[in-house]
Structure 1
Amino acid sequence: MLKKTHAVQFKGTVERQSEAIEQVDNPGDVSLVERGAPRSLVMRCPDGCGDILTVNLDRRAGPAWRLYQREGGLTLFPSVWRDTGCGAHFIVWDNVIHWTNDAWILRRNSSLERAVEGRLTDELASFVDIAAAVDEVPWSVLDACRSLVKSGIAVEGTGAERSSFRLASDSVQTSRARKRHW
């Protein structure tokens, strides 16, 4: 068994899955298979079990993850949850592996928090929908939403509405007043 990792190491872009498999030697190594458009991400399981994972990125081939390649690094959405093998469950966000059983780390981004706050109302909205509205990585928006909750500006839903957010009751009035003055 190899050692579990918390980092993604991008090994490059290739045209064939067999080429990608040759590039991923260590836990967290990833290679992008692209033929005209991103097709899949081949990854050595970051849990250290040694398995090769193939993450579908092509919606034409069935349910697919979204790949974001931005300044901060590579991000996958949603999380990867293996229902076979080692059973690993993790998030890939800006080249970092976040294990779902670890505590969520807030990464304060005040400009994103302002953009998210501007989208919140007194009705619950999914962080995924908010991310689409502000053209941002969903994990970053979830982080911003949870930061707003910690600041008392927003409230997170419970039960089936977990990961959906709305303005806190006292923030609704403040937000409406601000919008009237704009």
Structure 2
Amino acid sequence: MKTWIIKAARQLGLLKADFTATERMRLPSHGQRDDEEFILVRDGSVSKWVTFRCPGGCGERIALSLNPNQRPRWKVTLDWWRRPTVSPSVHQRNICGCHFWIRKGKVDWCKGGRPSNISERS
């Protein structure tokens, strides 16, 4: 029911977010990932990975480790609306070169981190 409410609120423009999270028990296969925009992989109460499509428009899937014993590592928290906050920032070192934060589901671009081929987000 909560998922339906969140989807409806986004479609009606009442919930403004670039990402809302879906939880899975394992990282989906390559073909399955395209349906879900932001996937948090958990095993019980242990968060393992997060994967999402790069907001810079290059089409690449970004996978971030949430394992506290690995470096680099990130932390993800979800609010009631399942909007993720990712810490620290994400810096793509591929051709895209994006550098951004995700806060309450919104992409917040770092200075000089927005690719020139995308416009300002509202």
C-alpha RMSD over aligned residues: 2.4
TM-score (norm 1): 0.46
Counterpart residue type for residue 101 of structure 2: I
Alpha-carbon distance in 1 for matches of 2:84, 2:93: 23
TM-score (norm 2): 0.66
Aligned positions of 1:10-159 closer than 5 A: 10=21, 12-19=22-29, 22-25=32-35, 29-36=37-44, 37-71=46-80, 73-101=83-111
Shift of 1:54: 0.2
Answer with 1 or 2: which has the greater Rg: 1
Unaligned 5+ runs, structure 1? 1-5, 103-182
Alpha-carbon distance in 1 for matches of 2:39, 2:52: 7
- The structure with more helix, counted as a fraction of residues: 1
Shift of 1:23: 3.2
Tell me if the contact between 1:42 and 1:55 (Cα under 8 Å) persists in the aligned partners.
Answer: yes
Shift of 1:18: 2.6
Counterpart residue type for residue 100 of structure 1: C
Tell me if the contact between 1:47 and 1:88 (Cα under 8 Å) persists in the aligned partners.
Answer: yes
Which residue, out of 7, 13, 18, partners 1:7? 18
Counterpart residue type for residue 53 of structure 2: R
Q: Percent identity?
A: 24
Tell me if the contact between 2:48 and 2:66 (Cα under 8 Å) persists in the aligned partners.
Answer: yes
Counterpart residue type for residue 50 of structure 2: L
Q: Which has the higher contact order (CA 8 A, sep 6+)?
A: 2
- The structure with more strand, counted as a fraction of residues: 2
Counterpart residue type for residue 109 of structure 2: W
Unaligned 5+ runs, structure 2? 1-16, 113-122
How many residues in Structure 1 have an aligned counterpart in Structure 2?
A: 94
